Structure 1
Amino acid sequence: MDFRIFTEPQQGASYDDQLAVARAAEDLGFDAFFRSDHYLRMGDGSGLPGPTDSWTTLAGLARETSTIRLGTLVTSATFRHPGVLAIQVAQVDQMSGGRVELGLGAGWFTREHEAYGIPFPAKRFGMLTEQLEILTGLWGTPLDETFSHEGEVYTLEDSPALPKPVQHDPLHPGRAGVPIIIGGGGPSKTPALAARFATEYNQAFPAKDTIRERFDVVNAACEAAGRDVSTLKRSAALVLCVGTDEAQVRSRAAAIGREPEELRRNGVAGTVSEAVATIGALRESGVERLYLQVLDLHDLDHLELVASQIIPQVG
């Protein structure tokens, strides 16, 4: 199983805070550093020092790390024109030497759009679908050809389709592209979209007893599309709160404003032995990659505990 660190910087984190976590995660051997793509704090609090843009942040991290993979979980299709996003992602992939992954979703947080003047259309699934068509089309267009797209939302005419990512599209060998992550709990549209475009299907904060069933749905979508189900990585994102003893568990839960028992039900939480058991059960449910949501970005000892005492037992 792959283990990735997943952060929520909109809750109040500077670029330097994120850099410290990314470097620690890299040094400790985690597979990747991911961050959310939001512009407004959720819940109470000031949100100081304020939001950081995800792709600006990842560009900086691309130059200040060397091995760890970098990405978003997930970028909102409402935030950027797909042509601009294609350029941003390809450039950061170049800057990182081919370590970028793109999680892309339809967006959901109405308030952040209102706060920063970002349009938030009621119907966004078609927008998301077209963005995926455009992104993969731009990256996959041969160097001596142009790309055009005429859809209900976007029109592109004779684009030179540059720049190209360093990586190759895992679903289309020989074409430039980056791994794409699609997630969600929809019963049909999202699984079908994942089967068509994604290299990874992610469940974000699912009820643990629904994980296997939701993977079965996306497996069926792959089969319906004629795709080998083994080519789609299955992942989950869950909040992390572990400690060497109960006192440390409770201290870490208090630091993020959560209750230990709620975290045990819904996340990877508790003592080391409890976390090991939880991860084992997640593996049995079909999880191949686990995103550990770290909400206290100043507690780097939390990462060290996972790397030194938990992953060796389950990795």
Structure 2
Amino acid sequence: MTLTIGPLRLRNRVLLAPMSGITDAPFRRLAWRFGCGLTVSEMIASGRVASGHDTRLGHAAGSCGDAGPAAVQLAGCDPVIMAEAARACADQGAALIDINMGCPVKKVVKGEAGAALMRDEPRAAAIIGAVVAAVSVPVTLKMRAGWDADHRNAPRLARIAEDLGVRMITVHGRTRDQFYGGHADWSVIGDVKAAVSVPVVGNGDVGSLDDARRLLARSGADGVMIGRAAQGRPWLPGLVAQGLEAGTAPAEPDLLARAAIALEHFDGLIDHYGGYRGLRLARKHMAWAVQGLRDAAAFRRAFNAETDPACARAALVAFWAEARPERADGGPAAGPSAREAA
């Protein structure tokens, strides 16, 4: 099974969520290589795109063919500026424009963008209509269940979006006031699926093949989107996609493979951003990559103190050579290290 978004046919129905500061080009390349059905750029402010000030645009829209179809997510509150930004992205090679109406972060909401648009349906409709009219590529929408428990308007906004020409809708099963706490309510994804005829993708609390299966069964959604669970695990969306198709869960990468992935990711960040910025961005990614391994905390402290990319890389290589899983009870880890297993 796969997903079709207008003329765009995806290779499977598992998508990587757009995450600010995380789903940059190096991360998306890895996720795509491991089988993700679609990767979406970090959220990009429409005003910076329209004015030509956002240097990430080219990487998000046109220069990442090795990360699959270029899908760019835009955020903003002005229909004219959003339309200009969408047009600029399409001109630079974007195959899909995604409108963000789900970001719960205070500074985004304060600017009447992201999830704030769910409490202003006329403005949301104006933005959707303007973006759809501005580009010939498919336009999609990502939103939440609603603003809060008393205003869960996702099905109504989804119908508005479909009527205006949106080709796919992704629903995170939390309201804005939940941020990322509590549990995602997958039933609201089902309510949206029942309200529209375009494909609906479910998002929220999908961290495994079993989670994806349960979300699809409970909601009737056409696909799933994986976000925070992929941090440090860029292979996860592809692994889940394989499992949905095959019916059995593929094995997670072993320690040797994880070591190679971490090093490839580190090198990609340095190549993409340069030594100074790339090293600082690598700190969080490498911290996620070593979760659950023996001496991970000590490694993070040492790695975060490094200021030279070459020294940081050497520390990474040395850690992974001796990496072992940490036992749940805190005792000595069992099994061979990555070096011993090689």
TM-score tier after normalising by the smaller chain length: 0.3 to 0.5
Q: Flag the structure with higher strand content.
A: 1
Q: Flag the structure with higher helix content.
A: 2
Of the two, which has the highest radius of gyration? 2
Superposition TM-score, scaled by structure 2 size? 0.44
